[in-house]
Chains A and B, each alone.
Chain A
Amino acid sequence: MQRGRLFNTTNNDKTDQNNKEKPFNTHVKNFDAFFNLELAPEIEQLAKLRNQLWSKAINKSIWMIALVLVVMLVFMFFLRALPLILFALAAAIIACIIIFTINYKAQKETYNTSFKNKIIKKMMLGIDERLQYQPDLCISQNEYLFSKIFRQRVDKFHGEDLIETTIDKTNIKFSELHTEQETETIDSKGRRQTKWTTIFKGVFFIMDFNKNFEYETVVLPDYNQQIFGDLLKSFQFGQRGNGKLVNMDHPEFEKLFKVYSTNAIEAHYLLSPNLMESIVQVKEKFNSNIYLSFSDSKLHLAISNYNNLFESPNLWGNPNFLNLIKTYHDYLHNCLEIVNDLNLNLRIWSKN
């Protein structure tokens, strides 16, 4: 770990000498050098495992596929009609694909776990030793529901890659989340169809907020405003739970978001002009939908992202690890920078 520190602390040595808490690093200063020195040897080690697992997936599948084919050949020998033979052949092909997929997925999972524990963890420690990474954990369902950002019933809750740390005075934790709802539709012939609809897929953050508050305020993307502009604004009276629609005094923010709050003055207190400006910038930086809520003295932030973060590449081919890990590193850097972007360490109010 000592070698990793070379890449992120240059001006902080004096602070270390004075035995003070060093500033939090949100990225590795020279990523290419860090990759070559710290991660490349680990990736080389992991390449052996990757080859082994790929061979294992192939070998396991070959035996099972061979067995399926033998059974099918015997079966076809007793069949006389061509349609039945074609049906048996199609069934055999499908069975082979399923067998291979199951075997491949099992081996890929093993590789993925090693990739996260060895490469991703090391990359995170290279950024800052105080980052805690737990690949199998996530923000809990209760925490997700407590934010009140998404009010839909959740039928499937899945998450991974929990990251937690304290940046200066602000505690921050975030993880990937995917929440889904089961919906049932009945077509014109009366047939029932079950469909899974995604409620949220992306990164969900919980952070300390630097002001005290007692009411609930939620900030959501405003699709109507983006389409109709100010045309209907004076006649809009939205209600969401106990919260009422609040018009904010930042034109760009108001164009992109709608705010529901149980207290209009507190909504203005929390969403200062600077914070609204920063939220607009965070949205531009991530270039996706963002949702916020203020409850239980925490700031909840959800950023949509349909890519699966920190995943290993496939077992075959020749992936570009440098680019892949750099992409993860840069996304993580943006996530950690949110504390500074939203100026959450500014503590000039009663809350410390």
Chain B
Amino acid sequence: MPVLLIIIAALIAVPVLLYNTLIRRKNEVDNIFGSMDAMLKKRHDLIPNLVETVKEYMDYEKETLTEITRLRAQAISGDLSDSDKVAIESKLGGQMKGLMIAVENYPNLKANESFNHLQNSWNEVEEQISASRRAYNSAVTSYNNAIEMFPSNLMANYLNYQPKNVFEIPEEQRENISAKELFNN
């Protein structure tokens, strides 16, 4: 009799545990994805100040600055699909990175205290964005493993859960040394 009870309890408990595991994994992914918006907002807030500060010093980067302003306006416009958002943010990141490299040619700008402060804030925001991508990828990997591994895949099939794509993280962000090399005064 006790053996029978244990078997019945296990038959009830295992599906419940698997269901809860999958729900928690899915929520984790959604939560982190939601938090990424906050990080991107910090980036958007910082760009006008940075552009305003550097344009006084930079004579040859007018096109880059215009492009950055345009991409920022697009990014904050709001009516974008997730894939468009990712593409615009990626372009914006690339342009900003190019701008920060160009700073090396302007010693007066490098010596400007308010620019240095903005540059440090920029490094911080960029690393936070990179961290949120890494956190998202870790959560997606755990989620994908859970929906593909036996026996939770049975429950995932029942719930119609599909694998999610991870962000592609550029090598320099993975290495996390670009900032050091670029801005080492």
Q: Which residues of A line the B interface, CB within 8 A? A: 211-212, 233-235, 237, 246-249, 264-269, 272-274, 346, 348-350, 352
Contacts and interface: CB of A to CB of B under 8 A. Distances in A.
B124 A212 contact: yes
Given A211-B127, A268-B138, A348-B179, 5 more contacts: A264-B135, A264-B138, A269-B132, A272-B131, A350-B121
A267 B176 CA distance: 15
A213 to B, nearest CB: 10
Contact of B134 (A268, A274, A346, A350): A268
6 contacts: A237-B21, A247-B142, A264-B135, A265-B39, A348-B120, A349-B120
B131 A265 contact: yes
Contact of A234 (B120, B128, B149): B149
A349 B176 contact: no
A249 B176 CA distance: 13
Given A249-B137, A265-B131, A274 B175 contact: yes
B127 A269 contact: yes
Contacts of A272: 127, 131, 176
A264 B180 contact: no
Given A234-B149, A349-B123, A265 B177 contact: no
A273 B175 contact: yes
Given A265-B32, A268-B131, A233 B142 contact: yes
B127 A235 contact: no
Given A247-B138, A273-B175, A349 B127 contact: yes
A246 B131 CA distance: 13
B185 to A, nearest CB: 10
B97 interface: no
A226 B135 CA distance: 22
Interface in B97-137: 117, 120-121, 123-124, 127-128, 131-132, 134-135, 137
B49 interface: no
A264 B139 contact: yes
Contacts of B176: 272-274
B180 A346 contact: yes
A79 B175 CA distance: 83
A237 B120 CA distance: 35
Contacts of B141: 247
Contact of A249 (B121, B138, B177): B138
Contacts of B146: 234-235
B57 interface: no
Contacts of B25: 234
Contact of A348 (B39, B123, B175): B123
B131 A349 contact: no
B145 interface: yes
Contacts of A274: 175-177
A211 B146 CA distance: 33
A264 B32 contact: yes
A280 B174 CA distance: 17
Contact of B174 (A264, A273, A349): A273
Interface string B141-175: 11001100100100000000000000000000011
A348 to B, nearest CB: 5
B135 A350 contact: no
A114 to B, nearest CB: 46
Contacts of B127: 211, 269, 272, 349
Contacts of B152: 234-235
A233 B144 CA distance: 12
Nearest to A247: B138
B41 interface: no
